Structure 1
Amino acid sequence: MKRKGAEMKLEKLVNYGSREAVIQNLKDAGCTPEMMECIMAHLDEDDMGELLKLLEQYRSCLLGTVHEREKQIDCLDYLVYQIKRNKE
């Protein structure tokens, strides 16, 4: 259910121009439907403190995944290095 007041606050907050654009941004960021629903509820309730907390937690989670993948790439790079070194 859209509330006109919430829609106006939302547009001012993020300068996207529409609720749908915010939802698309959350999808593009990899948010689950449940997470998007929770985030939008906090936006509708004008609960910016909890909203920012959720977004920061999700960002931290994504960054942790990036760091894990970097470590995996480093392991593969080291293995390739060792194989090439032993080949010579």
Structure 2
Amino acid sequence: MDVLGTQGGEGMAKATDLNEQIIQNLEDSGINSEMITQFFKAFQNGDIDSQRNLLVKQKCRLIDQLHTKQKQIDSLDYLIFRLKL
């Protein structure tokens, strides 16, 4: 079984490639090395709930950042609109 809880079967090299892909995806998602370590420790302990919670928390952080950036864009749009008057 790999870190996502799926059955392998293609051999060790494939599992390693999958784990490397998962690490890359976690990094691309803004997850730091400490959280990646936690993710894999949870896998080793069979704790899928902890893996899921870690991913959901990161998603919430990203959504919060998105909302903050949207507010900043809205403020700029307002100023640009006011300058046109």
Q: Normalized against structure 1, the TM-score is what?
A: 0.78
Q: 1:59 to 1:14 in 2, by over 3 A?
A: farther
Higher relative contact order (CA 8 A, sep 6+): 1
Unaligned runs of 5+ in 2: 9-13
Q: How many residues align?
A: 78
2:27 aligned partner: 27
Q: Is residue 23–residue 36 contact of structure 2 (8 Å, CA) maintained in 1?
A: yes
Deviation at 1:28, TM superposition (A): 0.8
Unaligned runs of 5+ in 1: 1-7
Q: Distance in 2 between matches of 1:22 and 1:81?
A: 44
The structure that is helix-richer by fraction is 1
Instruction: Give the alignment of 1:36-47 within 5 angstroms.
Output: 36-47=36-47
Q: Normalized against structure 2, the TM-score is what?
A: 0.80
Deviation at 1:64, TM superposition (A): 0.3
Instruction: Note the aligned Cα RMSD (angstroms).
Output: 2.2
> Given the alignment of the two structures, is residue 67 of structure 1 paired with residue 48 of structure 2, yes or no?
no
Q: State the structure with more CA Rg.
A: 1
1:9 aligned partner: 2
Report SS of the residue matched to 2:6: helix
Q: Distance in 1 between matches of 2:52 and 2:39?
A: 9
State the identity %.
Answer: 31
Q: Distance in 2 between matches of 1:55 and 1:14?
A: 21
